[in-house]
Chain A
Amino acid sequence: MDSTVFIVRSIIIFVIFGITLLIATYSTYAERKVAAFLQDRLGPNRAGPFGIWQPLADAVKMFTKEEFIPAQANKWLFIAGPCFAMLTALMASAVIPFGDTVQYEGQFIAVQGIDINIGILWIFGIVSLGVYGVMIGGWASNNKFSLLGAIRAASQNISYELAMGLSIIAILMMSGSLSLRDMVNQQATPFLGVSGLNWNIFYQPVGFIIFLTCAFAECNRTPFDLPECETELVGGYHTEYSSMKLGFYLFAEYINMFVSSAVISALYFGGFNFPGQAWVASLLPAGALGHNLLTSIGVVVFFGKIFFFIFFYMWVRWTLPRFRYDQLMNLGWKTLIPLAILNIVVTGAGLLFDFKPATWLIVIFVVVLAVISAAQPRKTMRPQQSTV
């Protein structure tokens, strides 16, 4: 490999790594701030201006707290649990295309860790491994609540991975590629002269909703935070954890949030593309400088989208209550998976007849049904909840 390419590549990888950690750090702060603002409070504001150093204070606290391993715990697995969680969380951001290419000494270098042609499958594989950290940690704690949390996490992740994969398949059918970069580039083409109208969200509204729901479940975020619900399982899988091992678990959750936000914006919201891209490009000077400027604008736009989705995660967390476990499973297996399969079929039919926004038909159909059912008088009493 050419040495300049190698150097630029490694810089990009290190920067992505650092940014991932930085964003995860500040997500903890943002979570508290957003929670406070949504509840008419102010949130942390003592450490520095607006409490901006709060994550540092938290880190110091986490590192200096007592490291505790229960006597009956399986020591090695107990330590390995948070390490796995952190490792899998960090690996996923490698394939996310944060921007277009950087032109450097005549070479175009992609702003991406690695551009493998199975990008989305890579993310999938890593995310499906993420549950091991939870399971191993929960089991090794030798605590019933931890074990219950771990088992809930496992079954929840497996159930929602299916619907998530099926919702992505519809996108794969449209893009014909597994590489995230190709998918993003395909969304860049203008539609009716306006770039930004070709984003997948305009073709896959149903898939987007399924994917979003599943992303919430995969990240163990409210309303699907059953593996770690405080009120039922006293913290779930991380009941026995303290100090930075607990910090790793919490951190991994925020990194997962960041990665899934990035994937959502790359898959459905055009990644680093933005409306009016061609116009901005025409304003910038030609050549390497203009190209790099456009790339950096794209990176900023992409991060804007990511931040919006991270905010959305928090927004939903402080809005919706937690699902019950049977509701969770019903939603996953009886609603999302059939809906995702229907979505695939309709998308395939749409591609066959060259009518890409075919899945809007599902939306229209459901809305019409809903309106009709709302117009009719309610007939029966709700049946008593059976205990099955």
Chain B
Amino acid sequence: MQLTNRSKKIDKREMTLAERLYIPAVTKGLAITISHFFRKKPTIQYPEQKRYLGPIFRGQHILKRDEQGRERCTACGLCAVACPAEAISMVSAERKKGEEHLYREEKYAAVYEVNQLRCIFCGLCEEACPKEAIYLQHDKFLPAFTERDEVIWGKDKLVENMDNRYLREGWK
């Protein structure tokens, strides 16, 4: 059976003298390698240059705000239920008077934590969310952590910064 037509048939007949001299073959090999020497290098200098990962890459989590800067999350818990790795936990609270500019709905997440060691970046929370509050950013990796207590990300790290909003292709 042949899967591709790239496989080469091995010639098992006796080698001719020209082949047994090795020198033509060695010269050919050297020519191949030296042609690679002058070829353009495809290396991307990672920390300085980053390549575009695509519109559907699932990176660092973000809790979106709406246009007025109010948190969209209502702490309904659907994301936590959907999460196959049980990485999400939250504590809900009721919006007080005078907090309307902070939270969009009457209920909000007082605590919203993602355990980044558990998260498998499947994106099911994103799909489960009815309020379009949680997203996995397509352009940002999760930074490496060196300490255990850096692992659980609270709202301080997750909620969107209004000065530097997260936008996806196709959004306004």
Contact = CB atoms under 8 A, between A and B. Distances in A.
Given A38-B36, A42-B41, A318-B33, A378 B17 contact: no
Interface of A: 34, 37-42, 209, 315-316, 318-320, 366, 369-371, 373-374, 376, 378-383
Contacts of A38: 33-34, 36-37
Given A37-B36, A38-B36, A315-B33, A382 B16 contact: no
Max count, chain B CB within 10 A of own CB: residue among A316, A319, A369, A378: A319
Given A315-B30, A320-B29, A382 B37 contact: no
Contacts, number: 61
B144 interface: no
Most central of B15, B30, B37 by chain A CB within 10 Å: B37
Interface residues of B, number: 21
A344 B26 CA distance: 25
B14 interface: yes
Contacts of B32: 319
A233 B15 CA distance: 31
Interface in B25-81: 26, 29-30, 32-34, 36-37, 39, 41-43
A374 B17 contact: yes
A379 B30 CA distance: 30
Given A40-B39, A41-B43, A319-B30, A380 B13 contact: yes
A380 B33 CA distance: 33
Contacts of A373: 16-18
B23 interface: yes
Contacts of A374: 16-18
A320 B16 contact: no
A37 B17 CA distance: 33
Chain A to chain B: the 9 pairs with minimum beta-carbon distance, closest first: A370-B18, A373-B17, A378-B13, A319-B33, A373-B16, A319-B29, A374-B18, A370-B17, A42-B43
